[in-house]
Each structure stands twice: as structure tokens, then as C-alpha cells.
Amino acid sequence: MKLTARKIAEALNGTVEGNAEIVVSSLSKIEEGKPGTLSFLANPKYTSHIYHTQASIVIVNKDFVATEKINATLIRVGDPYSAFADLLEMYQQSKGKPSGISVKAAIDPTAVVGKDVYIGDFVSVGEYAVIGDGCFLYPNTAVGRHCKVGENTTLYAGVKVYDDCIIGNKCTLHAGVVIGADGFGFAPQQNKNYRKVPQIGNVVIEDNVEIGANTCIDRATLGSTRIRKGAIIDNLVQIAHNVEIGENTAVAAQTGISGSTRIGSHCVLAGQTGFAGHLNIADGTIVTAQSGVGRNIKTENTVYEGSPAFKHKDFQKSYIHFRRLNDLVNRVNELENKLKKLTTQ
């Protein structure tokens, strides 16, 4: 796809500074820019690269002020990162998508399949399942009995959706996602064995949710495990039975959320965070990486850190003492030795 700076600016409602007719045919990172490519500058940490990049066009903030000569043509926009995301989407769409239903797919006669869908090789669609218009089911995907997949939703290769689960419109589930496996419900017995507790609920994923590769979301014991609209979930996340993830909440990789915990709306859970079960986490909560949350968070829009996690500012103050702990121990030992000598004398 070849575009001039003028055409790109028109698409992004931006203004051109430089050669409006220069042509680009691919995209690049600003520090690795090459002639004929388009890049962007959104993070101030990368500002130095704009003065040396070989990229032909760079998207910058409308308020950007250069302190040195820039060889590239600039396109000034309100939000460079969002503008570049728009271009990536345009580029992806230009590559086209697969279409049609493979003869190697196994679709139960009772299933309902919408219009303009793609169903790849070895896809399985179970009894009375509903696949909405415009869906993409890539090879080796399995959709169980009585499931519903909303319109314009994409299930990439190897996604497994167990019976009775519901996925909304415009969702994206990346390769290897498992929706609706049994929750981790086992009752201890007197003989020290475990008895499995049947998990008869389901998973409900609302509209515009994206779920990363190899993430697992367990079905509820009763009722539904629920992912609210607009949530974004990274790769390798474990969400247990009866959990609720609020609207527009972001969950980073390797996070684990135990059963029946409710995460509020607009929260950010950084990588490798862990949550005990039966908790309520207030809207707007931010939990920093590798933190462990073992109690309710009741105050909205707060930041928590540590394991066990407590408020970020208190953690930072405490961390000063953590780092000095060895010195403090040595000083106490020294004082004890001096006190012992004085007592002996």
C-alpha cells in the first residue's frame, strides 16, 4: 500500500510539514526508520531519534517543537499514538482476510451460522450453537453446544469455547484461549482425598473484549463468570470461576484471579499480580506488577503495591527501610555488643 504524506494527513485530520507528495509503502519504528517508511513519535523518551531517523514521514504531536534539523516530513496530529494505531488498522485491512466455510469444518446441522463468516479447516461447531454475522473462526477452533458467538467476533486458531458459553459482538480471542473450562472446585474429604464439585455455570463475555493467547477463563460453579464490555486481557492470564471483570479494565500477562472475586471498572492489573478469592476491588484501582492482593480494596482510584499489597505511597516509604534493613541489623548487633561490654564492666 503506497500513500503520500498528503493522503495520510487527510485520513488522520493532520497537517503536513515538509514534502506533501513524498510516498511511503511500509511502517517502521522511529529508531529503525528507513527511506520509504512511516513512523511516529509519541513517547518523549524517543525524541532524540527524530533528528537521525531515515524514515520518510514521522507522525508527531501538533505541539511538537524541534530543536534540531529534521530531514523527515512531519504530519502533526492531536494524538500520534492513536493516529498510528488508525494507520496500522488501515494497513491490516488492506491485507485482506480469509472467507468462506471450509469443507473440512464440522458444523452440527442444528447450529445457526450467520452471513459473511469465515470458518477454517477442522473447526467444530456444536449442537444449537449460534455464530453471528461476520465472524472469523480460524482453524482448529471448537465452539461447544448451545454457545453463542456475537457478530464480527474473531476466534483465532485453537480457541476452545466450552458448552453454554456466550461471547459478545466485536470480540477478539487469540490463539489457544480456553473459555468455560471447569472451575477449580474440589471438596476435601475425610480420607484426605478431594471430591470434584460439578461446575454447571458458564462464562459470559460482553462486547468489545480482547483476550490474549493461552488465557483461561473458567466457568462458574453456579451462575456466570463475567467479563464486562471493553475489558482487555493479556496473554497467559488465569481467571477463576464466578469472577467478574469490570468494564474497560486492563489485565496484564500472568495475572491470576481466584474464584468469586469482583474486579471493578477501569482498573489496571499489572503483570504477575495475584488476587485471593471472594474479594471486591473498587473501580479505578491500579495494582502494580508482582503484587499480591489478599483483602478488599474499597477506595476508588487508588494504587496498591507489594505482597501483601498496600497503598503505593506507604509501600514506597516502607521500601526505604526495607533496603536499609541489613545496615540496621548490623547497627543493632553493634549496639548490643557495646551494651554487653558496658554491663560486664
pLDDT band at 45 (very low <50, low <70, confident <90, very high): very high
Mean of pLDDT values over 200-215 = 98
pLDDT for 38: 94
Give the residue, 311 or 46, on which the prediction is more confident. Answer: 46
Sort strands 15-17 and 73-77 into parallel, antiparallel or unpaired. Answer: antiparallel
At 230-284, the pLDDT tens digits run 999 999 999 999 999 999 999 999 999 999 999 999 999 999 999 999 999 999 9
What is the residue whose three cell numbers read 516509604?
317
Radius of gyration in angstroms for the set of CA atoms belonging to the chain, rounded to a whole number = 27
Q: What is the pLDDT of residue 307?
A: 86
Strand 256-257 with 274-275, pairing: parallel
Is 48 a residue whose pLDDT tops 90?
yes
pLDDT class of 29 with cuts at 50, 70, 90: very high
Structure-block grid coordinates of residue 295: 483483602
Domains and CATH numbers, the chain: 3-94 (3.40.1390.10), 100-316 (2.160.10.10)
- Find the catalytic residue in 49, 146, 174, 241: 241
Residue 202 three-state SS: strand
**What residues pair up with 232 in beta bridges, in sequence order?**
210, 250
pLDDT at position 221 over 90 = yes
Res 321: pLDDT? 74
Write the DSSP assignment of 56-97 as a string of letters: SEEEEETT---SS---SEEEEES-HHHHHHHHHHHHHHHT--
What was the pLDDT predicted at 22? 96
Residue type for 253, please? Answer: A
Q: Is 256 helix (H, G, I), strand (E, B) or coil?
A: strand
> What is the Cα–Cα distance from 207 to 232, expressed in whole angstroms?
11
Q: Which residue has the cell 450467520?
A: 114
Decide if pLDDT at 287 tops 80: yes
The pLDDT confidence band at residue 330, using thresholds 50, 70 and 90, is: confident
d(CA 193, CA 220): 23
Question: What is residue 240's predicted lDDT score, i.e. its pLDDT?
Answer: 98
Torsion of CA 150, 152, 153, 158, to 10 degrees: 120
Task: Kindly tell me if the per-residue pLDDT of 291 is higher than 90.
Answer: yes
**pLDDT tens-digit series, residues 9-23:** 999 999 999 999 999
Give me the chain's average pLDDT, please. 94
Is position 241 annotated as part of the catalytic site? Answer: yes
Could you read off the pLDDT of 60-114 as tens digits, one per residue? 999 999 999 999 999 999 999 999 888 888 877 777 789 999 999 999 999 999 9
